Amino acid sequence: MGTHWIIGHYRGVPISLHLSLVLVIPLLTIGISFQNLPALMNHFDIPHNALSFPPILHGLALSIGLFGSVLLHELGHAITAMKTGGRVRQITLMILGGMTEIDHEDATPNQAMAVAAAGPLVNLSLGAASLMIAGLVRSLSVDLYLFLLLFGGINLLLTLFNLIPAFPLDGG
């Protein structure tokens, strides 16, 4: 897989960051800052001077939040695999998402389905919670409102994307 760094452990499972992710975060930051955020602000008729923080900080926060969501998604798979008797060797975050290496050849179909569904359920929960909270904070902070809208939308898209019935996605 190339160069990666171990950034932490969860219950003895190494969590690594692939070089490709480090390279894509600046690109995502720029794209979110200068395309997604202005489009969302225009859609909701929010003036561009309503932000307390510069768009680039929003882009960086959302880029990091995206891969935080991917990490939580992969941890959903890992925790479920461990609870069903599987062994998790490693979690790797990279440009195309994440990968959890699991040894669980003796898993029943129900256990395998639970492990596969755990990741998208994490993203569905994050997305739904973010969008609900966004509705509550709109009058308090435009910055937080926009972050939660984009973060929630990203997580709902991750949910749908991962349910596509194609390997190596969870739906496959």
Q: Does residue 105 contact residue 87 with C-beta atoms inside 8 Å?
A: no
Angle at 112 between CA 111 and CA 118, to 5 degrees: 90
Convert the pLDDT of each residue in 126-161 to its tens digit: 999 999 999 999 888 999 999 999 999 999 999 998
For residue 139, give both structure tokens: 């009058």
Convert the pLDDT of each residue in 64-90 to its tens digit: 999 999 999 999 999 999 999 999 999
Query: Which candidate in 21, 74, 77, 130 is catalytic?
Result: 74
Q: Does residue 103 contact residue 86 with C-beta atoms inside 8 Å?
A: yes
Active site residue 101: no
